Amino acid sequence: MANDVINVEGMSCEHCVKAVTIAVSALPGVENVSVDLDGGKVSVTYDPALSALDAIKSEITEQGYDVVA
């Protein structure tokens, strides 16, 4: 797992914290999301080995279809 801290502008309230947390958490390979509202920072723990193709397959599955080998 890798951890990165991303500087984000525009988060002003707990709604923003929730929106970012839910959206980023839903991404494939993301293990943990932590938002520092005052500091404008989003800390993310994720699998750096996840490929673009994995993300594409995950998106198709999310839409309700089955990806088969």
Task: Return residues touching a second copy (CB under 8 A).
Answer: 2, 4, 6-11, 16, 19-20, 23-24, 27, 29-30, 42, 44, 46-48, 50-53, 55-57, 59-60, 62-69
Tell me the CA distances in angstroms from 56 to 19, 36, 48, 52, 62, one per residue in order: 22, 29, 15, 6, 10
| Shortest distance (Å) from residue 26 CB to a second copy | 8
The residue among 38 and 52 lying less far from a second copy, judged by its C-beta, is: 52
- In whole angstroms, the minimum distance from the beta carbon of 61 to a second copy comes to 9
Q: Do 46 and 1 touch, CB atoms closer than 8 A? A: yes
